[in-house]
Amino acid sequence: MKANVIHQFGPPENLKYQDWPDPVPRPGEVRIRIHAATVNRVLDVSLRAGKEMFRLPVLPLIPGVDCAGIIDGVGPGVTRRKVGDRVAAAGTMPLDVCPEDCANYTGPQGMMGIRRPGGFAELVCVPACATVDVPAGLDFRDASVVMRHVPTAWNLLFNIAELKKGETVLVMGAGGNLGTVGIQLAKNVAGANVIAAAGSDDRCAVGRALGADHAVNYNTHNIQEEVLKLTGGKGVNVIFDNIANPKVLPLAFMALGFGGRLVTAGAHGGPNVTINFAHLYHKQITIRGRPGHKPSDIPKCFAAAAEGKVKPQIEKIMPMSQAAEAHRVTETGEVPGKIVLDPTLDG
């Protein structure tokens, strides 16, 4: 097969597109013929640059922390999956051989694309228990983005913030990958009122186009004042954030109302943010950081996507052979949105 391989950390050109042995599924594993894999600023690009060493990546490495495609081989002991199944896989999974259901697995775990071969290739083997069904009506490219971002947003909004119909949520970074998903889930699944916050009018327009009731450009307006105005002085019930912008989040925090909840799965703009503890105390606010998701969330996420309640925002689709270029443009910010790699475009 063809694969993108990191032999040593460094610039984008260190991601080599080359011939690589076809993987063979071990007991309890399946092999996926990949149709799509997403490019991620931290877990792929920063990792390749050598900035994520605390994640203990293993070289040589085929990166790519998610993928979607069709099963073309099954290992010994696999009965719940078959050749031809449409599946997606991502994230942390067993590293050693494990039973098909992984229920009694107690060995080491790690992320695909970091601790075990990932999705920047034509083929990848993963534990059968790490695969999820892709609905027939959902494109593989969309499925790869759903697998990467929607479960995290679902977890934050519904499991952690417990967002309810009629509540108001302020979505920070509304033009970003997690923000665009958060807007759609809050509006189309929860039935909440949504205020999108972004750093430009263009990104605010993206938020409105995805269903936000209001949008605030926090670089031209005081977000605290604008949100309190929009909520009649009550403030919002939930702030959904993964940026931790040290200039903006302290003001947004002051727009949380009584019993408000701030949830986050990242700190790309931080990590240090100053908040008003008097407001935290008097308004009885809860702050919770929680990456990941529950396995039971995944089918709900794919169902929402198949029903059109969540439309993944893909900026560009590139052949798998151009992964190094995709890393370069992601690193430089020339393409602000999500890039998806598709090996079928390489013929």
For residue range 183-210, list pLDDT tens digits in order.
999 999 999 999 999 999 999 999 999 9
Model pTM score: 0.89
What's residue 100's pLDDT?
84
Whole-number pLDDT of residue 299 = 92
Give the Cα separation of 158 and 162 in Å (integer): 4
Helix (H, G, I), strand (E, B) or coil at 98: coil
Beta carbons of 20 and 6 less than 8 angstroms apart: no
Class of domain 150-289: alpha beta
Lowest mean pLDDT among 31-45, 307-321, 332-346: 332-346
Identity at 222, one-letter amino acid code: N
The share of the chain scoring above pLDDT 70, in percent, equals: 100
On the question of pLDDT at 336 being above 80, the answer is: no
pLDDT for residue 101? 81
Q: What is the pLDDT of residues 73-130, one digit of tens each?
A: 999 999 999 999 999 999 899 999 998 888 889 999 999 999 999 999 999 999 999 9
For the chain, the domains span 2-133+313-346, 150-289
* Concatenated DSSP letters of 197-251: EESSHHHHHHHHHTT-SEEEETTTS-HHHHHHHHTTTS-EEEEEES---TTTHHH
Cα pseudo-dihedral 13, 146, 74, 118, rounded to 10: 20
* Phi then psi dihedrals of residue 56, to 5 deg: 60, 55
CA distances, 100 to each of 130, 131, 162, 293 (Å): 9, 11, 32, 21
Residue 332 tokens, joined: 């430089």
Average pLDDT score over residue span 178-182: 94
Q: How confident is the model at residue 337 (pLDDT cuts 50, 70, 90)?
A: confident
Q: What is the pLDDT of residue 208?
A: 97
Q: Residue 272: is its pLDDT beyond 90?
A: yes
CA distance 111 to 4: 17
Per-residue confidence (pLDDT) for residue 292, from 0 to 100? 80
**Does the domain made of 2-133+313-346 have the CATH classification 3.60.15.10?**
no
Which residues, 6+ apart, have CB-to-CB distance to 104 below 8 Å?
none
CA distance 161 to 139: 30
Tens digits of residue pLDDT in 276-292: 999 999 999 999 998 88
